[in-house]
Structures are given as C-alpha cells and as structure tokens.
Chain A
Amino acid sequence: MKIPGHTAVGMPGKRRTREGPLAWLAAASVALSLIMLGALLVLLSVKGLSNFWPATVHQLTLKGGETVIGVPLETRELPSRQGLERRYLTANRDDGGGIWRWLANDQITEDTTPEDLVVLERRHWGTFFGRLVALQSGDQRLTGPDAWTVLESRLKEINALRDERRRLTHDEILPLIRSMEDQDGHRSEDRRLADLQRRASELQQRMQGDLVVLENGQGRRQEQALAEILEAWRPNAMAWHEKLGHWVRELWQFLSQGPRDANTAGGVWPAIFGTILMVLLMSILVTPFGVLAAVYLNEVAHQGRLTRLVRIGVRNLAGVPSIVYGVFGLGVFVYGIGGSIDRWFFESTLPSPTFGTGGLLWASLTLALLTLPVVIVATEEGLSRIPLHQREGALALGATRFETLTRVVLPMATPAMLTGLILAVARAAGEVAPLMLVGVAKLAPQVPLDGEFPFLHLERKFMHLGYHIYDAAFHSSDVQAAMPLVYATALLLVTVILVLNLTAIFMRHYLRKRHGAPVRR
C-alpha cells in the first residue's frame, strides 16, 4: 500500500544520501527492468514494422563484371580481417536457390540505384528483383514506360478478380459443398454448384492470359504469368509519401489477409482472429467458475483445515507448467469428452472426428482450467479485503447472508474479479505450448466464426499468433527470410494482449467509479 504523501525514494534533502546503497539498488532494478522492456518493444517495433517499408534496391557491379541487384543489410568484418563485407537480399529464389549474398566491399566497383528496378511480390517463389522488359497482353506487346503503366493497372484488375474468386469460393461454393455432404445432395443443388464453379473458373480465365518478360541482374530473361504476381513496385522511383502509402498498404495486408507460401509470407488475420476469439471464450468460461469457487471458499465454506488445504491446492495449481494442462486437455477434453460426443452425436462421420480432435472449444476450456487458479485467488483476495463492517452494515439492516453477498459484497469485489480476469487474459493470450496439443493449427484459413449455421464453430481448429511465431521461426524453409515476419507477429501479439488488458482495465476503472469506491493505485 502506498502511504499518501510519502514518496518511494524517501525523504528529500540530506537524509537521502544516508539511505545510500539500498535506494540506489532499488532504483537501479527499476531502471534495468524499464530498459529491458523498452528494448523489447523497440526491437519488435523496428524489426517488425520496417519489414513493410519499400527499401531502396541497389544495382552493384562487381570486379568480375557481374551485376547483382539487392537490398543492402548488415555489415561485418571479413574472416581475413581485411576489410568489410555486407549481406544483400537478392531475392529471386527461382534463380539459383539462395536469396542472400555476402559481398566484400572491395569487390564492388559500382553501386547505383536506377529508377527502373522493379520489385515483384509473387504467389510462388517469393520476391523478384529486376527489370521489366515487356508486357504481353494477348497479341499486344508493350515495352518501355508503357509496359509499367499497363502492368500497374492490369494488376489492380487481377487483384480485384482474385478477391472476387476468393469470396465466391469461401462464401458460396464451400458452404454449398458442405451442406450437400450433409444431406446427400439434390439435383437443384448440383446445378447451382456447377453454375458457381463455372463462374469461378470464368474469373480464373479472365485473370490469366497476360505475360510479363523480366530481366534479372545478370541480364537473363524470364517469362512470368501476370496472374502469379500479387504486387509490383519500383522503390527507387517512389517519393517518400508514396513509400509511406505503400507501407500502410502492406501493413494493412499483413493484418487483414491470410498467410501464403507455407506461412513465410502474407498476413496473419486468421491468427489474430483465432487468438482473440479463444481468449474471449476462455474469459467467458473461466469467470463464472472462478468467481463461484472463490465465493464458496471465502463466504460459504467452513473455514477449517479442509478449506485451507483446498486453498493451498488452488494456489499451487497456478504454478503447474502449462504443457501439463495441455496433456490433461488432450486426454480428458479431446479424447475423453470429445470422443464421447462424436460417438453419440456424430456417428455418421466417424472415423473422421468432429469434436474428438483439437478445436477451439477444447483449447478455450484447457486455458480456462489453466487460468482458473489466478481468477480464484484474485477474487478471494478481493472478497477478503471487503471490511467486516460493510457486511455487518447490510446484516444490521435485515439483509440475509445471501442478500448481503449479492447486493454488497459481490458488487464491491467486481474490480478484484476483473483484476483476476486481466491476469488470466495476460497469461492465456501468451500460452502456446498447451494449444499445440488441443487445437491450434499451422494453417486454418477459415476463421471459426462465419455466416454459416451455427456461426461459431467450436469444433474447428484455429490459428494463433503465438503458434504462428513458433511455426515461422522454426518450420519455414528459410528461417532468415521469415524473421521479419516473426518480429512483426510478435509485435502484434504484444499489441493484442495489451488491447485485451486495457479493455479489462477500463472496465475495472468504470466499475470502481460506478460503485463509488476510491480508485486504488
């Protein structure tokens, strides 16, 4: 508790020096913690957010006459300690494998940044650095500046078509197929499906047909279908406001789109959605249980040895490693309860499981169990902090014990319950280990909430930001290439947890004000 009017450091003036080492030590630990936290946020922000900035692309001429196109990255000393070398992102994975190249500084004879260098974001094979030679649209062949202008406008059309096709597939064709599976298909449904599929392939047709001719650093030419290209930009020709616009667009795509290329590119929207939805479900599950358990322990149960034992047990449960809860969730929820549900209600689809496999519901339940002790302990502390004379005041007015509990004690304890919930959310949103056992998926492009009955699909697997980080950092084909994505996702996870916590904190603040209690700091 803070004593009003006293500062943590101590008395001002000369006395302060006498407190000497302890005060300094305390201040130093605070400073160190703050610096570490600040460093964490700065690192995540810089590394994560700079990834979306359109970096200048350099064209280098080497001593042997070879030309390399790339984005310069970090510098280090040569192994021979004679001069420096620099790492360049050269992209073009289809052009020999690697996307990085170390070049010694003295190898480079010329370093320019020509404006006609293009960067292409492709559906496969990652990024391309090089030049646009020509654009072939039907019989028409465009070269020079015209080619770039037409490329940009055609790309917009194609992207619109692609969005339309995605919408058609996800919102109409897939639900129709699923409903037909359920009810053995009617003729009319068959016809509707065929019609939809024809429309989809029509869209596909309209996207195709155009070709671009590209030239890489060495001057080697290659053809590329325009439908394969997602985005194209010329960073060296962009003014800073264009770059900013590009950055915002890229960031938005990262937040709003699904992942591509085995989670090494694209966005993380399903993961954001999965994380938030799971945490919300967890909160809905854990709060009533935790509060009722705390009320029982603190208000109803006889305060004897058994209650004390239960209380110690609950507190110790908070320290059990999360993976243990994961194993429990797998054994009890997934195989036990989920398996039974499948046998009773979904027998027709067996042996392919419905609830008998990891899913949103089981993950939320497992995390609710994991965070239950936190909620119980926080609520109990809130209940025990309510002064006896408040309860006696209600009793003396003729309230029964139950009325005292519901009308005075519980409203006064709501801030404590929310504190418990805040701690629970903070813990649950950051957990990854137990989720791997009970329902998280590497790729689940369909979010578990959609327009299809029953709207919230508790049995579906879902994506999670924490697991996405783990997957991108350990399981992608080129870990170094995935690192910016890892940083960006980590920053996003921190932001999501922060937003969830702030929501709860504002709710607590509002409740405290409404109940007129002085705000404790």
Chain B
Amino acid sequence: MSIDGELPKRQLAQARLGNRRGAVMEFSAADTCLDIQGLTLAYGGKTALKDLTLRIPRHRVTAFIGPSGCGKSTLLRALNRLHDLNEDVSRHGQIHLDGHDIHDPRVAVAELRRRVGMVFQAPNPFPMSIYDNVAFGLRLQGGLSKRRIDDVVEWALKSAALWDEVKGRLRASAWSLSGGQQQRLVIARTLAVEPEVLLLDEPASALDPISTLKIEELIRTLKPHLTLVLVTHNMQQAARVSDYTAFLHNGELVEYGPTDTLFTHPRLRRTENYITGRMVG
C-alpha cells in the first residue's frame, strides 16, 4: 500500500483445491504474498503448529479460524517473527514474503516488522499524544521532515477513518480515546509506516458492536491496498469480511478455501462441526 498512488488491480488465479493436508490452495507466485512451507513451531517442547503449508493471496483478506489454542494466533505472530523474543520457541519450515525467506540472516527483523504490520487483540496505544502515536514508526525511520510527518499522520488517520474524530485534538493523550477509537488509532499507527501486510489478531474482540462494525468496514476499505490476515473467534465476522478462510485445529491446517465455499459447503466433517457450533471452541 502506498500513500502516493493506486496499485494496479490484479487478477486472482483460480483457486485450485485439493492437495496434501486436505486443503491447500494454490495461487501463482505473483499472487502469493506470504508462502508458508511446512512450518512447525514448538514452545519449549510443546508443539503449537504442525507442518503447516499454505499460501496467503495478495490484496485479499484471509481469516484464520479455529477453537482456542488451535495455533491461529501463533501462526499470525510467526509471520512477522514476533516469536523471536521468546527464547523457548523452536521452528522448522520456511515463510516467504514476496518470494524472500523472512528467516534469512540478512533480513533485518525491524524492517520485516515494518513491512508486516500487526494490530493486537487489546488496543495498545502508547502513553503519548494521538499525533505522537501515529508518528512513532515514522520517527523510528528518521530523516523525515516535520511537514512530511504531518502529512503522513493526517493520511494515516484518514485511512483508518479516525481523522474526523480526532483532528481537533491531535495533542491529546491517546488514552483519552474510546476503545474502538484506540484500535483504529493503532491501525493508523501501523498504516503510517506503509506496510505491505497487515496482521490483525482478533482486532474487534474487545470492542462493542458499533466499533466492531467500523473496524470491519475499515478492513474492507483497506483491502485494495494491503494484504490482510485476520484471526477471529467470530464466525460471522470471518464470513463477513474475509475472502479466504483457513480452519486450524490442534496446530494443524484442517481446511482452507474461499470463504463462501468453506462456510456453505465445507468438505470435512470437522470443519462443519466447528462452524455450526457443534464443536465448542
């Protein structure tokens, strides 16, 4: 996503179903944003992800669903190497972002995280002003003029549909905003560094229905510019906003397909049980 111009529209390759693990969708290399190959992840001996292989398409919303502890958040956090902080985590397998291995020793992890932005479950604005929150990532990069920062902050807040609500009080503390506003501020903060991928870890689970709706609208408006990956507990939300859905269970990828297909004609009994609520998550 870029502040300066529209991105060319891309045709999505026809999703081809069926491969190992029952459900792996194949996109052409050009349409694949994140390519996860045989990813296995363990926390201090306990396996959280078992040999996952899936491709996440560019400029689409992909949702991860599954019961608690199925590994969907773990998978999300693997995509921007947030697990690096935890010394107990061991990993096998590769993740490619635009064809480049993100675990390559030459990759600067800070730069990777700038390109793969993340929004967390609970809104986590920093204890500073609204303006400083959005400018935080920009200032880390350094070398930007004050005017440029002003412009980007305004653009990011507009992109996150927050500008009209806060334009008069950019110097107010970010903690004075409501929960929904805070979450949109966090999205604006992430957008300000112009990421290519936006990871959303249950972004609306701590919010009221109206704020949830606003976040979902925002996801839809961002879709043409960004690859979005959404983890959610809320089946309706996945159905409403995502183009593709992956169902994970016990660290395994059970089924992955276009959202419409997966929710209306799941191929596997386990998937059906989960989305119809017979398997309690």
User: Chain A interface (Cβ within 8 Å of chain B)?
Assistant: 302, 387, 389-390, 392-400, 403, 407-408, 411-412, 515-518
Instruction: Give the chain A neighbours of B82 by CB distance below 8 A.
Output: 392, 395-396
Q: Are A516's CB and B176's CB within 8 A?
A: yes
Closest A residue, CB atoms, query B175: A516
Q: Are B128's CB and A389's CB within 8 A?
A: no
Known: A392-B120, A403-B140. A398 touches B111 (CB 8 A): yes
**B254 interfacial by beta-carbon distance below 8 Å:** no
Instruction: Give the chain B neighbours of A399 by CB distance below 8 A.
Output: 110, 136-137, 140
Q: Main SS of the interface on chain A?
A: helix
Q: Are A411's CB and B137's CB within 8 A?
A: no
Q: How far is the CA of A2 from the CA of B262 in the complex (A)?
A: 47
Query: Which of these, B114, B127, B140, B186, contacts A411 with CB under 8 Å?
Result: B127
Q: Are A397's CB and B175's CB within 8 A?
A: no
Closest B residue, CB atoms, query A389: B124
Q: Are A516's CB and B127's CB within 8 A?
A: yes
**B190 interfacial by beta-carbon distance below 8 Å:** yes
> Given known contacts A396-B118, A396-B120, what 20 new A-B pairs fall within 8 Å (CB)?
A302-B87, A389-B122, A389-B124, A390-B124, A393-B125, A395-B82, A395-B113, A397-B114, A397-B117, A397-B190, A398-B193, A399-B110, A399-B140, A407-B136, A407-B140, A408-B126, A411-B128, A515-B128, A516-B173, A516-B176
Q: Which among A302, A393, A397, A399 has the greatest number of chain B C-beta atoms within 10 A? A: A397
Q: How far is the CA of A387 from the CA of B111 in the complex (A)?
A: 23
Instruction: Give the chain A neighbours of B87 by CB distance below 8 A.
Output: 302
28 contacts between A and B (CB under 8 A): A302-B87, A387-B124, A389-B120, A389-B124, A390-B124, A390-B126, A392-B82, A392-B120, A394-B136, A395-B113, A396-B80, A397-B113, A397-B117, A397-B137, A397-B189, A397-B193, A398-B111, A398-B113, A398-B137, A398-B140, A398-B193, A399-B136, A403-B140, A408-B126, A411-B128, A515-B128, A516-B129, A516-B173
Q: Are A517's CB and B137's CB within 8 A?
A: no
Q: How far is the CA of A387 from the CA of B122 in the complex (A)?
A: 11
Closest B residue, CB atoms, query A387: B124
Instruction: Give the chain A neighbours of B80 by CB distance below 8 A.
Output: 396
Q: How far is the CA of A149 from the CA of B116 in the complex (A)?
A: 90
Q: How far is the CA of A302 from the CA of B85 in the complex (A)?
A: 12
**B52 interfacial by beta-carbon distance below 8 Å:** no
Q: How far is the CA of A150 from the CA of B118 in the complex (A)?
A: 87
- Categorize the interface residue count of chain B: 20 to 34
Instruction: Give the chain B neighbours of A517 by CB distance below 8 A.
Output: 127, 175
Q: How far is the CA of A423 from the CA of B121 in the complex (A)?
A: 36
Within 33-61 of B, Cβ neighbours of A (below 8 Å) are at none
Instruction: Give the chain B neighbours of A400 by CB distance below 8 A.
Output: 110
Instruction: Give the chain B neighbours of A412 by CB distance below 8 A.
Output: 127
B164 to chain A, nearest CB (A): 22
Closest A residue, CB atoms, query B119: A396
Q: How far is the CA of A400 from the CA of B137 in the complex (A)?
A: 11
Q: Are B128's CB and A398's CB within 8 A?
A: no
Q: Which among B120, B124, B129 has the greatest number of chain A C-beta atoms within 10 A? A: B124
Known: A397-B117, A398-B113. A516 touches B128 (CB 8 A): yes
Instruction: Give the chain B neighbours of A393 by CB distance below 8 A.
Output: 120, 124-126, 186
Q: How far is the CA of A394 from the CA of B193 in the complex (A)?
A: 12
Instruction: Give the chain B neighbours of A397 by CB distance below 8 A.
Output: 113-114, 117, 136-137, 140, 189-190, 193
Q: Are B128's CB and A396's CB within 8 A?
A: no
Closest A residue, CB atoms, query B199: A396
Q: Are B126's CB and A394's CB within 8 A?
A: yes
Q: How far is the CA of A517 from the CA of B126 in the complex (A)?
A: 9
Interface bits B107-149 vs A (CB < 8 Å: 1, else 0): 0001101100110111011111100000011001100000000
Q: How far is the CA of A170 from the CA of B122 in the complex (A)?
A: 65
Closest B residue, CB atoms, query A515: B127
B151 to chain A, nearest CB (A): 18
Within 160-179 of B, Cβ neighbours of A (below 8 Å) are at 173-176
Interface bits B168-209 vs A (CB < 8 Å: 1, else 0): 000001111000000000100110010000000000000000
Q: How far is the CA of A257 from the CA of B63 in the complex (A)?
A: 77
Instruction: Give the chain A neighbours of B124 by CB distance below 8 A.
Output: 387, 389-390, 392-393
Q: How far is the CA of A302 from the CA of B87 in the complex (A)?
A: 9
